[in-house]
Structure 1
């Protein structure tokens, strides 16, 4: 069994909506625009990339990171599209820029479900529901419990795209099937992941709440089913993931240099090997004329171009394996050895020096208290609302007024499935959608230590 590009590039929209023809933009470029204009994407500007609550304007946040990944992904997609078109492998109506548009849109959305404080925020949500908030999950099914106990930003991302943004509980942003499928890095559910029955034992991409949408997306794009609630990846996921890895390989190190955590020599030692040897002498002559702070910008373009060339070649060489759904590794692992080793070395350096920097660790620890305060206060109020709105305390009623009690009304949630599970997911929607700054300030307000924001 194999997949085909005609189905994989399906331009119909979630909810079995027909292809939308617009002058001046493709259906896939329309996806890009919908994501850019969403509130969820806008809030990424105040969400952690690596350094929580960074005050240095030169340090990346989730939005700047996502935009840069989208730029790399677009070029990577166009080059792959051109190679496939030249080989006669794409449908006649598809042009290389269509591939670029799909990958660009999926890159824009790749972190859209991340909570405040990044991966630390994910861990803080998990930690609270595994301990203090565990009793809220007692009546849920095992799969629903696992969704929350091992909350995953990737699954929340699909929820933002299909459920919580724009048309709430009515297919969300209503993106094309191709873009949605290309956004699902881990096309399986939480319970099987925890029991170590999936390729990644700590990652998944689908909540029970979006399971019906997931099957619809998989069937419309022709993904190969590998097990219960489990499909192979869409081939273009590998391009989105590679664009993200390429940017990590450069941008995290640039931020580390800006903050004085690592040196220029450490960065150049990693990236020098991916540059064309014929360009080294002229490059180093130019680098020697500028300060260390300006050197990354000079090196960046050449390094990214080398990464994109290697990614394009690797994808084209293994196209049949991607269409057969047999690739278990990421695209980086299939790239030229110098590129593969450079990306891995960059990740190792960032993990060793940047992620363990004392200031970052201090803020991460504080994030646990912030998330715990928010969950404790809001879940208590929602629980009281679910039991009997007429018996709520005044405090609980004020909390419900703040977060919007219409989002928890039985007429809204009971149509979708398990009322209590979806109510807790709505709490997580609210908190995971917060920026770092808003989450911090609101937790202070809840603790009686906030400042007036009038």
Structure 2
């Protein structure tokens, strides 16, 4: 069984909506624009990439990281698209640039579900629901509890794109099926991951609240079904993931240099290995003219070009494997020099950057911040759902998060197999995970009676 390109690049939109015909803009361009103009995307500017609450304006945040990943992904997608188009494998109405636009859009959105404080924020949410907040889950089904106790930014991202942003509970951003399927990095639900029944333990991409939308998207593009609530990946996921890895393998190191954690020689010894000798001679001459902080841009283009060329070649050589639904990592299929450079860069970042005292201090504090928000808001949404005779405090919390943003009665009836408490708690998660690092910290102080007046 194999997937077909004509379905994989469909421009039909979620809800089986026909794509709009617009002069000068393809449906995939429209996907890109909808993501960029969303509040969820804009808030990435104040969310942690690696260093929480960074005061240095040159350090990456989730927004600048996403924009850079999108640039690399677009180039990679166009390179692959050109070859697929030349070979007559794409539908007549789909251009090589459309492949680039789809990958570009998914790269823009790949971190859109990240909570405050990045992966530490994810861990803080999981920790709270597993311990102090466990009592709030008592009326929920096992699979619903697992969604919260194993909270995943990837699943929250799919929820934002399909449910929470623009048109709440009615298609969300209403993106094309091709873009949504290419976004699904882990196309399975949470519960089986606890028993090692999925390719990656504790990683998943779909909440129970979006399970029916997940099936709709997977069916529309023709993903291969493996089991209930588990499909193979869309081939373009591999390009999005590779673009992300490439940027991690360059830009995290640049941040380390900017913060004085790394030295230029440590970075150059890794990245220079992928640059051809002819280019290296010229670039080294240019490097000698610059101080360390200005050296990264000199070689960045050559490194990214080497990464993209290698990834495009590897994707095309393994096209049949991707179409067969094999779960393969594109970076591992690249030229050994490229694979090693990316791996060595990640190792250096893990050993030197991720253990920096400032980062560790703020990450520890983020657990208290997230616990405060979850306790106040989580308790309030359940109180509000359970009875009309809720407390004054609950009323004020609901005023803050917006009563009109809570699941409607029609939505709850439509999801009759879901616990009302679970659906309400997911709204609390929408609000909390949507907070920026700064707003989450500010709000926790306010909730604890230690805040400042605006």
Q: For the superposition of Structure 1 and Structure 2, which TM-score range results when normalised by the shorter chain?
A: over 0.9
SS of 2:308's partner is: helix
CA distance in 2, matches of 1:325, 1:380: 42
1:211 aligned residue = 211
1:408 aligned residue = 406
CA distance in 2, matches of 1:329, 1:11: 26
CA distance in 2, matches of 1:367, 1:147: 21
Aligned length in residues: 451
Q: Structure 1 residue 387 and structure 2 residue 417: aligned?
A: no
2:113 aligned residue = 113
Q: What is the TM-score of this pair, normalised by structure 2?
A: 0.98
How far does residue 86 in structure 1 lie from its aligned partner after superposition?
A: 1.6
1:16-35 equivalences under 5 Å are 16-35=16-35
Q: 1:432 to 1:175 in 2, by over 3 A?
A: same
How far does residue 83 in structure 1 lie from its aligned partner after superposition?
A: 1.2
1:343-362 equivalences under 5 Å are 343-362=342-361
- Listed one character per residue, the Cα deviations across residues 259-316 of structure 1 (whole Å, up to 9, x for unaligned) are 0001100100100110011211111111011000000011100000000000000000
Return 252-261 or 398-407, whichever deviates more. 398-407
RMSD: 1.0
1:82 aligned residue = 82
CA distance in 2, matches of 1:79, 1:296: 25
CA distance in 2, matches of 1:211, 1:102: 22
1:230 aligned residue = 230
Question: Conserved in 2, the CA contact under 8 Å of 1:49 and 1:61?
Answer: yes
1:282-297 equivalences under 5 Å are 282-297=282-297
Question: Conserved in 1, the CA contact under 8 Å of 2:163 and 2:169?
Answer: yes
CA distance in 2, matches of 1:403, 1:325: 41
SS of 2:226's partner is: strand
2:62 aligned residue = 62
Q: Structure 1 residue 363 and structure 2 residue 353: aligned?
A: no
1:192-207 equivalences under 5 Å are 192-207=192-207
How far does residue 122 in structure 1 lie from its aligned partner after superposition?
A: 0.3
1:338 aligned residue = 337
CA distance in 1, matches of 2:261, 2:226: 44
1:209-358 equivalences under 5 Å are 209-326=209-326, 328-358=327-357
- Listed one character per residue, the Cα deviations across residues 77-113 of structure 1 (whole Å, up to 9, x for unaligned) are 0000001112222122111100000000000000000
Q: Any unmatched runs of 5+ in structure 1?
A: none
Question: Conserved in 1, the CA contact under 8 Å of 2:407 and 2:423?
Answer: no
Q: Any unmatched runs of 5+ in structure 2?
A: none
Q: 1:317 to 1:362 in 2, by over 3 A?
A: same
1:403-442 equivalences under 5 Å are 403-408=401-406, 411=409, 413-417=411-415, 418-442=419-443
2:157 aligned residue = 157
Question: Conserved in 2, the CA contact under 8 Å of 1:186 and 1:204?
Answer: yes
